[in-house]
Structure 1
Amino acid sequence: MSGDCSKLLRDALDQLASTPRRPRAPLPPREGLWSRVRAALAFRAIYSPRAGDNLTLADLTEADLSRADLTRASLVNAALTHANLTGADLTAANLSQADLICADLTGVNLSRADLSRANLSRADLPYANLTHANLANCKLVAADLSHAILTGAVMSRANLSRANLTYADLSRANLTYSDLSRAKLSLANLIASNLTYVMLADADLSRANLTDATLVDADLSRANLTDATLVDADLTRANLSYTNVGGCRWSLATEWPAELYLDVRRRSVEIKPGVFRVRSHDSRDHEPGLPSPAPVR
């Protein structure tokens, strides 16, 4: 009896295998927002960027790349508008000409990265590490760089108008020919930075540290330099029209524009040997009976 059952089962399987399969009609395409959302979620589940990846010209608009390891990755001309890159590691990555408008780069590591000609307008970069990064010709209009580390960064001809650089570390940075008009640089560290020919009109530099900074031919018209430190700074030929310098600290080695030196000296008091503070307009201090420092060259 068992042999007959086995034979019947084999015959049924052979018949099923020899039956031609009916072609299945293709499923209708799903259209609309939710189909795109499902496709995007499926892509993220499959693809995870890695260090050294070549993502040139990649479309990563609104992508979630938070805490991703993208060290030495190539993102040349990549579209990263509104992307989430918080906490990502982009050390030595190439992001030249990338579109990062409104991207979130909070706490990102971009040390030694190439961001030349990239567009980071309205991007969030608070606490970002941009040490020795290349930001030449970069657009950072209205970007948030508060508390960012930009030590030794190359930022020549960058557009930083209306950018927030409060508490940022720009020591030894190269900002020649950059546009920082209406930028917020309150309490920023600009020690030994190069600000030659920089546009700083209407900028807020209150309590900023510009010790040993080069501001030759810089435009500081209507800027706020209240309580800023200008010890050993070079302001040769700088435009200080309507600039508030009340409370500024400067030294014998500070180079003021020649036409302003006498006024600055008249309004200043010596607070320690060789270091002076500019009095505010409403100060009632008397002119100190101190020897005048040597005029600027």
Structure 2
Amino acid sequence: MTSNGQVGSEDLVRRAVAAFNSGDHARAMDLCELGLKRRPGDPALCHLLAAVSFARADLPAARARIDASLAARPDNIPALILACRIARAEGRFEAALRFLDRAAGQSSKAEILLERARTLDHAGDASAARASWTLVLQGDPKSVEAMARLGRLAWQAGAPVDAEGFLERAVAGGGHPAQWFDLGLVRQDMRKFAAAAEAYQHVMEMSPEAAEAAVNLGVVLQEAGDLDGAMAAYSQAYRLDPSTFGVIAMALTSAPSGRLWLDEEALRRSLALGGSAPGAKTLPVDARR
């Protein structure tokens, strides 16, 4: 027979899970704490409370609760994976990997391999991360995250052709602004300015507040000889974030062709007005001479 107390605890867990899944973290926390008053140390409630605390970025509380859950159920795979994520968020990468090793001893779930790749990536171990992401992609050829991370790692390793291939696969289904931005960087380094501009334009369409993408769009348009388009992009970047002014002013005179503004305030006015200011005095710059 099942005791009424156990039935009540299971009901609290179900209600807390429902609240957590609906985004009502405060309600989920209240229910977990109520349950723990009735059943101190309950591993399921401790696990759920750790998840709530982690979602609220309260890492010390999340760590304490997941440790309590694992003390009662040391081989619980979901708890070990959550412990890994908490440790990784705290920068305790060796501890995170140890949790995954314990989980891997119980199961060969693809999720464990994915968490290992993320952990090695966050730890800055590029070689090991690349090997782990390759295994993830071999197990799931449609993993956009693995494609994107392998593309970024290849670019950082000085292999732009490989990087472009991975990133083009990553964005094939629509992509994320960060993936399009990385693709823009790779193509820019390869001097594929038109293709880089296309990638940065995707970023701006998906994330209109991305000032850095607007600056880079201006740079590649300027490199391609489209000064009017470049000024429009620079203007957008400046209006989004005035601190980009220094980078923009430098870019205008450092590309093969550009403009030299004799009056800094005139350039600021031009950028504020959309890329053109009547009466502003500029001189053409051609660094190829």
Tell whether the structures are fold-level matches, with TM greater than 0.5: no
Q: TM-score range by the shorter chain?
A: 0.3 to 0.5
Structure of higher CA gyration radius? 1
Q: TM-score, normalised by structure 2?
A: 0.34
Higher helix share: 2
